[in-house]
Every structure is written in structure tokens, then in C-alpha cells.
Amino acid sequence: MPLADFTLHRPAARGAVLAAALALVHAGAHAATDKLLLTGGVTSIEGSAGGGLTPWAVIGSNATEGQWGATATASVVSTRNYTMQVQGALLAFDDRYELSIARQDFATEATGRALGLPGLHLKQVVVGAKLRLLGDAVLDADRWLPQVAAGVQWKQAEAGALEPTLQALGARTHGADFYVSATKLLLAQGLLVNGTLRATRGNQDGLLGFGGSGHRRYRLEPEFSVAWLASRTLAFGAEYRRKPDNLDPSPLGAGLKEDDWADVFAAWAPARNFSLTLAWVQLGRIVPAVATRRQDGGYASAQLAF
């Protein structure tokens, strides 16, 4: 079935994502799991292994070289005016290849009502692939080179009653992001650093479509993460993700200026197969003409990894 025909609002679509997650978990249940805790990252809102907001060069799951692994995750972000729920699953092999899928459901709540669109949900499916190119994430005497990975995320958005407006602004309902990430864990210091360069045309990560009138080209946007491993089971960190601004410059898109994203987080892995991430996120102003305050709020994510 073409991705463009994947209707997110139907129960069958939701069931397909859940079935995929369960299948991946079952596939990874038989893999040996000797990767260091938390060094596979958690799951981003787009389904790739990394932080909550940005992908890292690490390959998800607990699997190492020659092994299969899988993760399943559920996340929620709640800000002043919006709520987003994400379900995702990931399959990894040989600590080199990663395939992922995520389903996002963004509830506009009071902002939707103010726009005359009560009950409006912006939905998106993200299918990702990542390949480790070179290097090793964990530093030792012989491995100074950071781990470098390249990835692609194909996105199909559904904006419901807002789609005619987005089309008038020149935004498309589907698109792809391309990125390169470099990650290094200084194990002796317990410090992980990551830098990602993303080529994107996405508006609010794609939830408001891709591109706009006069803004068809890809833009290169940097993303950064840093984490401190306080113990083998607990990490604290922060992320920053710069965003493009495709819609606001056009006359019809006035009031749709896009701000950068950031968070501070804590990730806890009480068991090898389970981790919990809590964060405070700053998403800037989203539709500032209606939701005038900055969209700060909480983020929680639970992940099963094999």
C-alpha cells in the first residue's frame, strides 16, 4: 500500500502501527543484549534512535555487531496549548542498520477552536532508515573517531480541515528529511555529545506540511545534544534543534513563524529492556497570532528495547 494512502485517522491504520511494534519486539526478543545501557539512545519523536527531539548516530535497540534488535516506544508532549502523542517501533541489525516507523498525533485543542476548527488533529507517519558509516560511539585508546551515521525520514502528513490553507500557502503534505549525525561518548567522563545536520523542508517537523510559496529548496539546519551519564542507569542532558521558517514570510502565512526547539531531559534505565525519559521542552510560539504564549511543557516517553 503506498504511504500516501495510509489514512491515519482510521482504526486500521492505528492497528497497523501497533502490529508493527509488536512484531518488531517479538523479532528482537531472541537477540543477545550486551550493549551498554543508554548507549543506544532513546527514541526521538520521529522514531529514530537518539534524543527526544533529534536523531543521533547511534543505532537503536540493545543489539551489537551480528545481532538483531528492536524497540517499541510511546511518548506524549503536553504544552500550554497543544498535546502530541507518538507511538513508534524500530528494528536494528549488526549495530549498523536501523529501520523505524512513528505515528504522530498533534491535538490543536484551544488553538483549533480559536481558528474555527474544533477538534483538529494534525497527524503524520514517519518512516526512517539509518546507516552507520564509520567510527565508534564509545571512546577508547584506539577509537577517537566519532560514530557517524546518515539517515532519511519519509513523512506523510494529514492536516484535515487545515489542508486547503496549507495548499494555498504552497505547502505539500509529504516530504523527506535527510541528515548526518556524529556521536561520541567519553566514557571516562560520562559525557556524550552529538551533532546533527538536517536537510529539511518540513514546517513544524512536517505537521504543517513541507515548504511554502517561494521556499521549495531544502534548508540545512543544525541540531545538538549533550548528555551526562550520572550512573550506568541514569543520564541528564539537553538538546537544541534549529527550525526552518517557510510559511511566515508569505502574506497568507503571516502569524505562522516557526521557532527553534529545545529541551532538558533525564533518562532512566532501571532494567536492560526498559527506559523512561522525562523532559521539559520549549517549542517556541506555534501559531502565535492565536496561541500568544511560548509552548513550554512536559515530555514523557517509555521504551522497551531488545
- For the chain, the domains span 3-305
pLDDT-derived band at 229 (thresholds 50, 70, 90) equals: very high
Q: What is the CATH number of domain 3-305?
A: 2.40.160.40
Element (H, E) at 55: none
Per the prediction, the chain carries an average pLDDT of 85
- Residue recorded with cell 571516562: 188
116 vs 193, higher pLDDT: 193
Instruction: Give pairs for 41-44: CB < 8 Å, separation 24+.
Output: 42/73, 42/267, 42/275, 42/277, 42/301, 42/303, 43/71, 43/73, 43/75, 43/88, 43/90, 43/100, 43/102, 43/301, 43/303
How far is residue 226's CA from residue 238's CA, in Å, rounded to a whole number?
6
- For 279, the grid coordinates are 523532559
Per-range mean pLDDT, top range of 1-15, 80-94, 243-257: 80-94
- For 86, the grid coordinates are 507518538
Give 268-298 pLDDT, tens digit per residue: 999 989 999 999 999 988 876 676 778 899 9
Residues 25-36: what's their mean pLDDT? 48
- For 247, the grid coordinates are 510559511
Angle (CA) 5 8 14, round 5°: 115
How far is residue 2's CA from residue 85's CA, in Å, rounded to a whole number?
24
43 vs 38, higher pLDDT: 43
User: What residue type is assigned to position 179 of the chain?
Assistant: Y
What are 262's strand-pairing partners?
240, 282
Quote the pTM value.
0.85
- For 205, the grid coordinates are 517537523
Radius of gyration of the chain (CA): 19
Q: Please say whether the beta carbons of 289 and 114 come within 8 A.
A: no
Beta strands in the chain (DSSP E): 42-43, 49-50, 68-79, 83-93, 97-107, 121-134, 147-158, 174-186, 191-200, 219-231, 234-241, 261-271, 274-282, 296-305
pLDDT-derived band at 170 (thresholds 50, 70, 90) equals: confident
Q: Please say whether the beta carbons of 85 and 76 come within 8 A.
A: yes
Q: Please say whether the beta carbons of 124 and 92 come within 8 A.
A: no
What pLDDT was estimated at residue 212?
A: 83
Q: Please say whether the beta carbons of 90 and 98 come within 8 A.
A: yes
Q: How many residues does the chain have?
A: 306
How far is residue 208's CA from residue 127's CA, in Å, rounded to a whole number?
17
Residues 187-195: what's their mean pLDDT? 92
